[in-house]
Amino acid sequence: MAQKILVIHYSQSGQLTDIIKSIIGPLQKSADVEMVWENLQPCEPFPFPWSPLSFFDVFPESVLLEAPGMNPFLFDSDAPYDLIILGYTVWYLSPSPPVVAFLKSAQANVMKDVPVITVVNCKDRWLMAQETVKEYIHKAGGKLIDNVVFVHQGNEITSLVSTLRWLLTGKKNGFWRIFPPAGVDKKEIEGAAKFGEAILEALQNKDIKTGKSLLRGMGAVKVNPNIIQQEKVGYRNFVVWARIVRAFGKRGQWRRLPCLFVFIFYLGVLVSLSVPFALIIRVLVNPFRKDAIRKEIEYFEQPSGD
């Protein structure tokens, strides 16, 4: 009997779809595997590329995990699955709203007692979003066995510029010689097939039933120690600002725009200070926190870390 894999994801730009297709490529070629594909669809599609206003206007609801209205899910949530692959992108240090809608739905119980592999696509920050997803998987009774993370190419500044340009204009190519193409490197996406090969081998050997990591030591996840504290502080600030802006109205309502503009100014200041702040932390603080940093890295890289 073929083993059944459920793939659930939402991809606004299509890049996450490409990543997941690369991962499951080896699985689709096997006669012993049946794939069920669920592309989450909000009732009101999010635009791509974004307008500047719409890009920032989703901030409060994203951070506060308010689920948007969704078209009915097509997969059979009562069917038995041998593995679930859950793919998501990161919006404002949180999982994207359509994925939140699934995680908060009754159909999320499909994960009960089933091994789950998460696939994350983001610019560079994913720790807090994964903590949220882990919590919902646990609530549903699922067993998170692996996490695979794909971050955008370039350093913190160049990737930020390239990503914003892509999101607001749709232009993904590199420019001015110093800014790389936006998104995950094509070679890395193509190389994601190695994870599918490992998953297929585990399915064939019945290792999937052990509940242990299938991708440990394969470079599935790597934590940048220099941004752990930045992300923790940033997330706490985001929650405060999201509550303030949300108190002035819902998405699309003009009365919350003045407060939203203040947040945009604050975000610009925060980003401009993040590089010198990170340098100060790295030089003056981190040398005295080596053991604590090592433990944080080990924690956030679970269950797939080296």
Q: Rounded CA gap, 279 and 184, in Å?
A: 25
At the topology level of CATH, where does 3-222 sit? Rossmann fold (3.40.50)
Number of residues assigned to the chain: 306
User: Looking at residue 25, what is its pLDDT?
Assistant: 95
- For residues 91-109, average pLDDT: 98
Tokens of 142: 């699922």
Domain boundaries, the chain: 3-222, 226-298
Tokens of 27: 């699985």
Q: Report pTM.
A: 0.94
Report helix, strand or coil for 95: strand
The answer for residues whose C-beta is within 8 angstroms of residue 155's C-beta and 6 or more apart is none
Q: Are strands 94-95 and 83-91 parallel, antiparallel or unpaired?
A: antiparallel
User: Looking at residue 287, what is its pLDDT?
Assistant: 76
Q: Rounded CA gap, 222 and 306, in Å?
A: 9
- For residues 167-192, average pLDDT: 93
Q: Rounded CA gap, 121 and 143, in Å?
A: 21
**b/e code 184-197 from CB counts within 10 Å (16+ = b):** beeeebeebbbbbe
User: Looking at residue 213, what is its pLDDT?
Assistant: 93
Quick one: 25 exposed, middle or buried, by C-beta within 10 A (0-12, 13-18, 19+)? middle
Q: Rounded CA gap, 283 and 115, in Å?
A: 41
* pLDDT band at residue 282 using 50, 70 and 90 as cut-offs: confident
Q: Is the pLDDT of residue 277 over 80?
A: no
How much of the chain exceeds pLDDT 90, in percent? 78
Centre a 10 Å sphere on the Cβ of residue 156 and count the other Cβ atoms it contains: 17
**b/e code 86-113 from CB counts within 10 Å (16+ = b):** bbbbbbbbbbbbbbbbbbeeebbebbee
**pLDDT tens figures, 229-276:** 889 989 999 999 999 999 999 999 999 999 999 999 998 888 777 777
Report helix, strand or coil for 67: coil
User: Looking at residue 210, what is its pLDDT?
Assistant: 82
- List alpha helices for the chain, DSSP H: 15-28, 52-57, 59-63, 97-103, 127-139, 156-169, 186-191, 193-204, 228-247, 257-280, 290-301
User: Looking at residue 141, what is its pLDDT?
Assistant: 97
* Stronger pLDDT, 9 or 175, i.e. the higher one: 9
Estimate to the nearest angstrom the gap between the alpha carbon of 167 and the chain centroid: 16
Q: Is the pLDDT of residue 284 over 80?
A: no
**pLDDT tens figures, 23-64:** 999 999 998 899 999 999 999 999 999 999 999 999 999 999
User: Looking at residue 136, what is its pLDDT?
Assistant: 98
Cα angle value 221/277/229 (rounded, 5°): 40
* pLDDT band at residue 288 using 50, 70 and 90 as cut-offs: confident
User: Looking at residue 28, what is its pLDDT?
Assistant: 93
Whole-number average pLDDT of the chain = 93
- For residues 282-302, average pLDDT: 85
Pick from 90-104, 207-221, 278-292: least confident: 278-292
Closest Cα to residue 223, out of 99, 86, 128, 116? 128
Q: What is the dihedral of CA 36, 83, 120, 278, to 10 degrees?
A: 170
- For residues 10-30, average pLDDT: 95
User: Looking at residue 85, what is its pLDDT?
Assistant: 98
User: Looking at residue 75, what is its pLDDT?
Assistant: 96
* pLDDT band at residue 226 using 50, 70 and 90 as cut-offs: confident
Closest Cα to residue 35, out of 26, 46, 48? 26
